Amino acid sequence: MNLDDWHLAFISACLVLILIICSPVVIETLKVRQEQFFMLAILGEEGMTEQYYPSDDPDISVNETIHWTMYLHNQMGEVQYIAVKVKLLNSTMKTPDYSSYNPSPEPAVYEIRHVLMNNETWLYPLDWNLINAELNGEKTSIKSMMINEDPLQINVESINGYNFRIVLELWVYDETSNRFNYGWIEQQGLQTAWNQIWFNVTRPG
Amino acid sequence: LSKKLQILLKLFFILSIAFFTLSASQVLGDESEAVSSVSQAENSLDSAYLSLLEAERAGGDVSEVVKVLNTAIEYYSEAERAIKKGEYDTAVLLATEAVEASNVVLEADLGLIAVSKYVEGADLRNQLYLSLGAVIFIIPLSFLGWRGFKEYYIENIKKMRPEVVIDEP
């Protein structure tokens, strides 16, 4: 190694040393942004994506209690205030729209609000049963139901009691408009999360 | 007798109407008070959440405060359900609990924001000063080190004597 080579090695070593010393300040200033998202799911009786109904039979009776668990995960990088709106629909009622990012226009029968820390998973028990379902000719109407022991008056009908569904929509509190909005804004634009599970009421009481 | 009976009946009729009017206004009054309390609780929750967000962004550990805010949200949700059931007094009580818990969150957040801003600012400042000091120390030291090394290197070169190798045929 001649003197020029030693000179180069010396300068390089100094630069590396300076970089190591300054790295904590650089890391603190340029914090890395993670991918942002929410996860919403409904789990069955055993806390898995199965056994949503007793004996796995989606034909449910009045007063038959269904045990679900709502699964919600926050990966938005900070604490979030959310509302999950529970809606009861039949097969012809509008569900949330993937392309226009609009929620279902039907009113919510039940609402769950919670504040989630970043990277927190929240499991919420969702026990429900029908209190009153009436048969009028071909149509079966659900008149009242109970969610987590709260009685709710509703009126949703379906032909022969087939194809009712429970829809869960995720609404997120928006700090600029100071209200809950359907979905959330991330780097790729507006994102939404909703879930539905179908059931039949072929034995109204 | 019939006149007296008529007067009594009229009196009973007037009293009944007055009683029903009073009862209805009492119920409506209770309902509007409950609705107003729940609406106030909702506003308190919104403010508490926004201050919580600010505290977290300032670098504060908000995990314990989140628990209190979630308790406040539970009170609020129960108050809303109580209104639907017509239990207006219960709704007012629960809404008041929600407001009180939200106020606890607000106060805790204000403290967290102040402490976090001070600690974070101080941490970053200390780190920056430390890094700058180290760099200022390293540059002249390495310059001196290099000069010393260079002199030592040249001295060594000067001390070297060329060896004469005689190649004998």
Per the CB < 8 Å rule, is A115 touching B142?
Answer: no
Of B131, B146, B153, the CB nearest to A22: B131
Phi, psi of B152 (to 5 degrees): -60, -40
The pLDDT, as a whole number, for residue B13 is: 85
pLDDT per residue as tens digits for the range A138-155: 899 999 999 999 999 999
Q: Which chain A residues have a beta carbon less than 8 Å from that of B90?
A: none
The pLDDT, as a whole number, for residue A173 is: 97
Average pLDDT of chain B, as a whole number: 85
pLDDT per residue as tens digits for the range B60-101: 889 999 999 999 999 999 999 999 889 999 999 999 999 999
pLDDT per residue as tens digits for the range A143-202: 999 999 999 999 999 999 999 999 999 999 999 999 999 999 887 789 999 999 999 998
Interface ipTM above 0.95 = no
Put simply, whether B10 touches A (Cβ < 8 Å) is no
Which burial class, exposed, middle or buried, applies to A140 when counting CB atoms under 10 A from its CB (0-12, 13-18, 19+)?
A: buried
Residue B48, beta-bridge partner list: none
Q: What is the mean pLDDT of residues B144-158?
A: 87
Q: Which chain A residues have a beta carbon less than 8 Å from that of B73?
A: 113-115
CA distances to A157, B65, B130, B142 from A92, in Å: 10, 43, 67, 78
For residue B53 the two structure tokens come to: 């967000």
The pLDDT, as a whole number, for residue B91 is: 95
HSE on the CB side for A27, CA within 13 Å? 8
Residues of A with CB under 8 A from a CB of B: 3, 6-7, 10, 14, 17-18, 21-22, 24-25, 28, 78-79, 81, 111-115, 117, 150-151, 173, 175, 178
Per the CB < 8 Å rule, is A115 touching B49?
Answer: yes
Q: How far apart are CA B65 and CA B106, in angstroms?
A: 9
Q: What is the CA radius of gyration of chain A?
A: 26
Which burial class, exposed, middle or buried, applies to B136 when counting CB atoms under 10 A from its CB (0-12, 13-18, 19+)?
A: exposed
Q: Which residue of B has its CA nearest to A20?
A: B131
The pLDDT, as a whole number, for residue B27 is: 58
pLDDT of residue B59 exceeding 80: yes
Q: Which residue of A has its CA nearest to B47?
A: A178
For residue B147 the two structure tokens come to: 């000069």
Q: Which chain A residues have a beta carbon less than 8 Å from that of B135?
A: 18, 21-22
Helices (H), chain B: 2-57, 63-85, 88-159
Q: Which residue of B has its CA nearest to A179?
A: B46
Put simply, whether B32 touches A (Cβ < 8 Å) is no
Neighbours of A134 (CB within 10 A): 15
pLDDT of residue A26 exceeding 80: no
The pLDDT, as a whole number, for residue B28 is: 58
Q: Which chain B residues have a beta carbon less than 8 Å from that of A173?
A: 46, 49
Place of tokens 């079966």: A140
Q: How far apart are CA A111 and CA A95, in angstroms?
A: 17
Put simply, whether B53 touches A (Cβ < 8 Å) is yes
Cα B145–chain centre separation: 52
The pLDDT, as a whole number, for residue B23 is: 65
Q: Report whether A128 contacts A70 (CB < 8 A).
A: no
Per the CB < 8 Å rule, is A21 touching B52?
Answer: no
Q: What is the mean pLDDT of residues B18-27?
A: 67
Q: Which chain A residues have a beta carbon less than 8 Å from that of B76?
A: 113
Distant-in-sequence, close-in-space partners of B153: CB < 8 Å, separation ≥ 6? A3, A6
DSSP string of chain A, one letter each residue:
--HHHHHHHHHHHHHHHHHHHHHHHHHHHSPPPPP-EEEEEEE-TTSSSS--SGGG--EEETT--EEEEEEEEEESSS-EEEEEEEEEE-SSS---BTTTTBPPSSPPSEEEEEEE-TTEEEEEEEEEEEEEEEEETTEEEEEEEEETTEEEEEEEEEETT--EEEEEEEEEEETTTTEEEEBEEETTEEE--EEEEEEEEEE--
Cα end-to-end span (Å), chain A? 95
Q: List the one residue out of A147, A83, A170 whose CA is nearest residue B45.
A: A83
The pLDDT, as a whole number, for residue A33 is: 65
For residue A110 the two structure tokens come to: 């039940």
The pLDDT, as a whole number, for residue B163 is: 73
pLDDT of residue B107 exceeding 90: no
Put simply, whether B15 touches A (Cβ < 8 Å) is no
pLDDT per residue as tens digits for the range A1-25: 778 888 888 888 888 988 888 887 7
Place B126 in a pLDDT band, splitting at 50, 70 and 90: confident
What is the SS3 assignment for B44? helix
Q: What is the mean pLDDT of residues A83-98?
A: 95
Interface probe for B, chosen from A76, A115, A148, A171 (most Cβ of B below 10 Å), is A115
Per the CB < 8 Å rule, is A115 touching B128?
Answer: no
CA distance B9 to chain A (A): 40
Per the CB < 8 Å rule, is A10 touching B149?
Answer: yes
Q: Which residue of B has its CA nearest to A116?
A: B66
HSE on the CB side for A100, CA within 13 Å? 8
Q: What is the mean pLDDT of residues B6-34?
A: 78
Average pLDDT of chain A, as a whole number: 91
pLDDT of residue A118 exceeding 90: yes
Place B11 in a pLDDT band, splitting at 50, 70 and 90: confident
Q: What is the CA radius of gyration of chain B?
A: 41
Q: Which chain A residues have a beta carbon less than 8 Å from that of B150?
A: 3
**Cα–Cα–Cα angle for A7, A13, A16, rounded to 5 degrees:** 140
Residue A88, beta-bridge partner list: A166
Q: What is the pTM of this model?
A: 0.74
